[in-house]
Amino acid sequence: MREIVFDTETTGLDPLSGDRMVEIGCIELVNRVPTGRTFHAYFNPQRSMPLAAEQVHGLSDVFLADKKCFHEHALELIDFLEDSPLVAHNAQFDFGFLNHEFGLCGHPEVVLDRMIDTLTLARRRHPGAKHSLDALCVRYGIDRSHRVLHGALLDAELLAQVYVELTGGRQIGLALASDTRATANEISVFRPRQREFRPPRPHAATVEELARHKAFLETLESPLWVH
């Protein structure tokens, strides 16, 4: 099973309002093991970088000025992704930007059936806990000391380790179900069992049981219910 874990950095939160992708990092997994193959690129967004976004990932207008635009990397990225399932944290966000960029340069969108969201997996496995990438790294003992700012390739590398832990850790070979998409989209459906109807059993005490109970009470000295 080949899967791609990826992360993006952007100029903001909403591609429909003019925000653009400025970095993507992809990690190839085969049977949940990194192969060493990666794809990493910076993009010139052809717009200014808001200060709030730059403070998150450190990518400035000056740094991005000489980088190629997304459409110049699009075919190379498509070749790397192939038709593999794509793993991301809060994947709707990353898929939204990825498909927006593909649309702008005339390429087909990535179908959402390929999406595996580790945020959804984390919420199901650890309800009520913190589910940020940092929090999950702490939970699973993954070293993130070199993560000073967000970076697409670095975050994808960390997420790949988190994903392995969320889907069975290093013992995934012992899992009963190995289909990744089933794991990512697991939905518990309650199906009540068909039970044979049985009439209620009588629970009233018999005359003999009442008599024995009365005789027992008479042996008690100063019972609490007697005032």
DSSP H helical ranges for 24-179: 51-57, 61-64, 70-81, 91-104, 118-125, 133-139, 152-166
Q: What is the mean pLDDT of residues 215-226?
A: 79
Predicted local distance difference test score (pLDDT) of residue 53: 95
What pLDDT, in 10s, does the model give residues 1-21? Answer: 999 999 999 999 999 999 999
What pLDDT, in 10s, does the model give residues 143-198? Answer: 988 776 788 999 999 999 999 999 987 654 444 344 444 444 443 334 445 556 66
71, 150, 203, 227: the catalytic one is 150
Question: 71 pLDDT exceeds 60?
Answer: yes
What pLDDT, in 10s, does the model give residues 84-127? Answer: 999 999 999 999 999 999 999 999 999 999 999 999 999 999 99
Predicted local distance difference test score (pLDDT) of residue 15: 96
Predicted local distance difference test score (pLDDT) of residue 224: 75
Predicted local distance difference test score (pLDDT) of residue 181: 44
Go through the domains of the chain in sequence order and give each one's CATH number.
2-184 (3.30.420.10)
Collapsing DSSP to helix, strand or coil, 103 comes out as: helix
How confident is residue 66, by pLDDT bands cut at 50, 70 and 90? very high
Predicted local distance difference test score (pLDDT) of residue 54: 95
Predicted local distance difference test score (pLDDT) of residue 227: 58
What pLDDT, in 10s, does the model give residues 101-112? Answer: 999 999 999 999
Predicted local distance difference test score (pLDDT) of residue 202: 66
More confident residue, 204 or 194: 204
Instruction: Choose among 93, 86, 67, 72: nearest CA to 26.
Output: 86
Q: What is the mean pLDDT of residues 193-213?
A: 73
**4: β partners:** 28, 86
Predicted local distance difference test score (pLDDT) of residue 31: 94
71 assigned to active site: no
Burial of 174: CB neighbours in 10 Å, binned 0-12, 13-18, 19+: exposed
Predicted local distance difference test score (pLDDT) of residue 201: 67
